Amino acid sequence: MSVVYHTPLTKTTHWKAVIPFYGYGAIALLVSTVLLLLSANNLLNHYFSPGNLAITHLMALGWGTMMILGASHQLIPVLIESELYSIKLAMLTFLLAGIGIPLLVVGFYEFNMGAPAKWGGRLILISVIVYLYNLFKCIKNSRKENIHALFLFTATAWLLVTSTLGLMLIYNFSFPLFQKNSVDYLPLHAHVGIVGWFLLTIIGVGSKLIPMFLISKYFNSNLLWRIYGLINTGLILFVLLFLYSESLLYLFIPVVCIFSGIVLFVIYCYKAYKQRIKLKVDEPMKISLVAILLNLFPVLFLIIIIVHATFTNTVSFSVVMGYGFVIFFGWITAIIFGMTFKTLPFIVWNKVFQYKNQITVTINPKDLYSKLIYKWMIFFYWTGFSIFLIGLLMNNVLLISYGAGLLVIAALFYGWNIIRLILFKAPLDEYNNQ
């Protein structure tokens, strides 16, 4: 049964600055899962391999980052209660990153740190700078201080650090910029991106959207400030200890700080859930809330890695691979699967029904995507994720292959729903109702 709206449409960011990112992300996810399936026999060789580097960066940049950049262009006005500064800069961000990411991934896949990888890194870095400038101008033009916007701005600053360091590591293969090999700095590069960019962004945006989608009035600025302080303190300590300390045991200090921040964020979301007005929680919100809990699992993996490395001077390869898999194919993917179908339907709905005057619309944004396709996507996703992770931890190539195959199917269902959404057109009777 459709819900009837009698409301003027809210002025939002133009869809051209948002929807292309969603389409790009869907393609990147599908390509990543296909590469995962094709690389099943080689995944257990070493984490620093061309295939693993290509998949990791395609998931981190093509999937996670592009989806966040696109969604944030729509969400920034919500966070700062002001319009996006520049649509043209948003589109330039997409163009630069959209070209740079495949160049970088191809460079990694061929293990060629020459022109493709370097140009890819340069374009991605410029894209981040353009996005950061656009965000800065948005916040500057807004007269209202906002903790959520601060999270996003700080996260983007960390993304700039991550991108700069990544490009330097590529150049380090040709010119001795660092005292050690590039592979020795990979943990630093990875964790600045994972914690600084992804974690801070998800917490900053999630602390606004989750109560909003649950129709909950819960907000605790002091708690968010504590979370912000703990995570940034932990990350800064991690960088300093990584560069200047030889004892892995000291790394427990930043891990505890970051873990404490994650726990507080889980508590924040739980309180928002308990104080919700909307009692029935839809499927996208359910998976988003599960993804919040998945925040805790990578930290547990990291603790195991540190303990094992401290007392044995070796690293458990299967646990390291499981750690990365849980982050990119678990936590980040789950939160995107949930938030996509809470944000994109509204964007498409605004695009299709952007009339100037007050109208009656008998189509709800949540009706624009297929619930059946979504349910099948989630089924294949969780099944494939579980089987693949078990296969990694057991060093079982057969389970890895089965899990990767199911993840490919989940990515196909996701892409199918995205295409349905992007190509949606209003029925003729809707136009007749004007």
Q: Could you write out the DSSP letters of every residue in 141-177?
A: H--S--HHHHHHHHHHHHHHHHHHHHHHHHHTTTS--
Q: What's the domain count of the chain?
A: 1
What value does the mean pLDDT take over residues 252-262? 93
Among residues 431, 414, 422, the alpha carbon closest in space to that of 368 is found at: 422
By the 8 A CB rule, do 174 and 168 touch? no
By the 8 A CB rule, do 193 and 162 touch? yes
Angle between helices 66-80 and 87-109 (to 10 degrees): 160
Q: In this structure, what token pair is assigned to residue 340?
A: 């996509």
What pLDDT does residue 7 have?
37
What pLDDT does residue 199 have?
95
pLDDT surpassing 50 at residue 405: yes
Contacts of 16 (CB under 8 A, 6+ apart): 87, 91
Owner of token pair 């939160």 = 335
pLDDT surpassing 60 at residue 9: no
Q: How confident is the model at residue 297 (pLDDT cuts 50, 70, 90)?
A: confident
Mean per-residue pLDDT over the chain, rounded: 87
What pLDDT does residue 4 have?
37
Owner of token pair 């300093």 = 240
SS3 of residue 359 by DSSP: strand
Which range (81-90, 172-181, 284-293) has the least confidence? 172-181
| Confidence (pTM) | 0.91
pLDDT surpassing 50 at residue 388: yes
Q: Which helix (H) or strand (E) holds 182?
A: none
Which range (38-52, 65-79, 347-361, 403-417) has the least confidence? 347-361
Burial label for 370, CB within 10 Å (0-12, 13-18, 19+), is middle
How many Å apart are CA 391 and CA 379, to the nearest integer?
18
How many Å apart are CA 168 and CA 158, to the nearest integer?
15
The whole domain housing 355 covers: 5-432
Contacts of 268 (CB under 8 A, 6+ apart): 207, 218, 220, 223, 224, 227
pLDDT surpassing 80 at residue 44: no
Burial label for 186, CB within 10 Å (0-12, 13-18, 19+), is middle
How many Å apart are CA 160 and CA 287, to the nearest integer?
29
pLDDT surpassing 50 at residue 358: no
How many Å apart are CA 341 and CA 330, to the nearest integer?
17
What pLDDT does residue 167 have?
95
Higher-pLDDT residue of 416 and 432 is 416
In the DSSP assignment, the letter for residue 433 is: T
Higher-pLDDT residue of 363 and 322 is 322
What pLDDT does residue 124 have?
97
> 91: which strand partners?
none
Q: Rounded to 5 degrees, what are φ and ψ at 40?
A: -55, -40
CATH of residue 16: 1.20.210.10
pLDDT in tens, 193-234: 999 999 999 999 999 999 999 988 899 999 999 999 999 999
- Count the Cβ atoms, other than its own, within 10 Å of residue 280: 6
What value does the mean pLDDT take over residues 179-186? 82
What pLDDT does residue 362 have?
64
Q: How confident is the model at residue 360 (pLDDT cuts 50, 70, 90)?
A: low
pLDDT in tens, 107-132: 999 888 888 999 999 999 999 999 99
Where helices occur in 172-279 by DSSP H, the ranges are: 186-191, 200-213, 221-244, 252-274
Among residues 70, 217, 235, 208, the alpha carbon closest in space to that of 147 is found at: 208
pLDDT in tens, 63-113: 999 999 999 998 888 887 778 888 999 999 999 999 999 999 999 998 888
pLDDT surpassing 70 at residue 359: no
SS3 of residue 6 by DSSP: strand
Among residues 277, 362, 282, the alpha carbon closest in space to that of 6 is found at: 362
By the 8 A CB rule, do 306 and 313 touch? no
What pLDDT does residue 355 have?
57
